[in-house]
Each structure stands twice: as C-alpha cells, then as structure tokens.
Structure 1
Amino acid sequence: MKTEAQSFQPAFYVPQYLASAGVEVVPVPVYYPDATHILGLQVYRKLTDIPGEIDMVNVFRRAQDIPPHIADILAKRPRSVWFQSGIRNAAAAETFARAGIKVVQDLCLMVEHRNALRRR
C-alpha cells in the first residue's frame, strides 16, 4: 500500500476507494518505514501482526516480488488473495490454492467491486 504522498498510484487509490465503500482496509506497506498511519488507519508491518482474521489480502507487488511475502500470507491464512491488474504469479497462486486459499490474479479489485455494484 502507498501513502497519501503517492495518491496517484493504484496501491493508494484502490484501498482508498474500498475504504470509502465500507470495506475494512488494514494497511501493510512494504515501504515507508516511518509511516504509522495510512488513510487514517494504523499501519502493520506484517500480516501476522494484524489481530483477528483476514478475509482478503489485496496484493500490489510485482510478480517477482511476491515470493518473500508468501510465508507471511500463509501464516495468516486469509480466505483469499487478490493480485491486482497486471500481476500474475502461478507458483504463488498454486501455493495458496493448495493451502485452501482462494486466488484471483490480474484483476483490479476496485473495477470488479464497481462492476458488482452495477449488476445489483
């Protein structure tokens, strides 16, 4: 996730949109070690630091940068992992699927959320 200074980046405006739509967003930025809050929400450094269960991890990392995060994602056991538009990692997706975690690849969660609202 990006900070407000990068508000033009999908890794900021997609979570911002989701939060405004009523989705609970928990920031886990890879960069910005000094950031303590993004979108007014407490920042966590690892998924396993977040209290409670996680429904979905929305991934904004290049495909080749996903492997270092696999163990943290598996340890937290979210119901699903969503790789944003342009992101596909077959090996990571297979690892998550074998662990019983649903995987979506190469789709924008904001676009899909808006489409779902239109279909109602």
Structure 2
Amino acid sequence: MAFENPSREKIKEILEKAGNIAIVGLSDKPDRTSHMIAEALQSNGYRIIPVNPVVSGEILGEKVYPSLKDIPEPIDIVDVFRRSEYTPEIAKEAVEIGANVLWLQQGIINEEAADTAVKGGLTVIMDRCIKVEDSLLIGKRHG
C-alpha cells in the first residue's frame, strides 16, 4: 500500500503531545536549515536533542549525542535531516529506542524507512517540515 502521511488533525495531536524531539543531522552551523528549524522549535517551547556523530559538545545549548541509542531519556519525535538513503538505519534505531514518531523533513522520502518504523509501532511523517506544520497547526505554544 502506498504511504500516506497522517491527517493534519493527527499531526497537530502529535505536536501538542511532543516532549523531546531528537534532531538527527542537526548542524552546528547557524546558516543551515536544520539549525534554523531546531532553533525555531526550541523558541516555541519544544525540547530539542541534537544527534550528530561529527559534532561534540552542544548545539543551541543542548548536549549533542552521536546516535539515538546514546540519548538517556525517552524521545517522542525523531526528526531527520539526513539524505533519504540514510533513513532506513535511523528508522531501525528509532524503533529500538521506542520513539513514537519518525519525521522525515521536507524532501526526504524513503518507503523502506517508513515500513520499518510503522512495523515497529511508530507513526511516520515524510516530506513535511516540522516547523511549517508547527506554525500552521499550533502557533505559539509558550510565551
């Protein structure tokens, strides 16, 4: 069966319930899209957790982890800023850590990753920007 994103109502519910958002491929460079989106999510009240094996220390004041498995707390959404071919492995890790949602950013589509995540009990959102959805569906959470 062809993949279909959840309804806007379901996406809104996911965002309203989201606590920790692990951002895979979050860049430490402020001019990169992943950095700008993470910063926007953070300023809107979400807790972001950077995942990047080549950056150590902190990004946006949060400790960076080399992989999802290294994060010592539960993750609600795994938001992915990596090319499509890397997503099946990320989906496997998301299932292993018991995340609730695998979110592939705009322009990222991988049926294998979606299949792995759905079989593992995760909700999957592909080819959508989490910041855009948050702005459209939630607006300002805190402030």
TM over 0.5: yes
**Corresponding residue of 1:101:** 122
Which aligned segments of 4 or more residues in structure 1 are displaced greater than 3 angstroms? Answer: none
Deviation at 1:10, TM superposition (A): 1.3
Q: TM-score, normalised by structure 1?
A: 0.88
Deviation at 1:89, TM superposition (A): 0.3
Where 1:97 maps in the other structure, the secondary structure is: helix
Where 1:85 maps in the other structure, the secondary structure is: coil
Deviation at 1:109, TM superposition (A): 0.3
Pick aligned residue for 1:87 from 74, 86, 108? 108
Counterpart AA for 1:111: V
Deviation at 1:66, TM superposition (A): 1.7
Higher RCO by CA contacts (8 Å cutoff, separation 6 or greater): 2
Which structure has more strand as a fraction of its residues? 2
Q: How many residues align?
A: 114
**Corresponding residue of 2:48:** 25
1:8 and 2:31 equivalent?
yes
The answer for unaligned runs of 5 or more in structure 2 is 1-25
Q: Share of identical aligned residues, percent?
A: 32
Call closer, same or farther: CA 1:115–1:95 in 2, change over 3 Å.
same
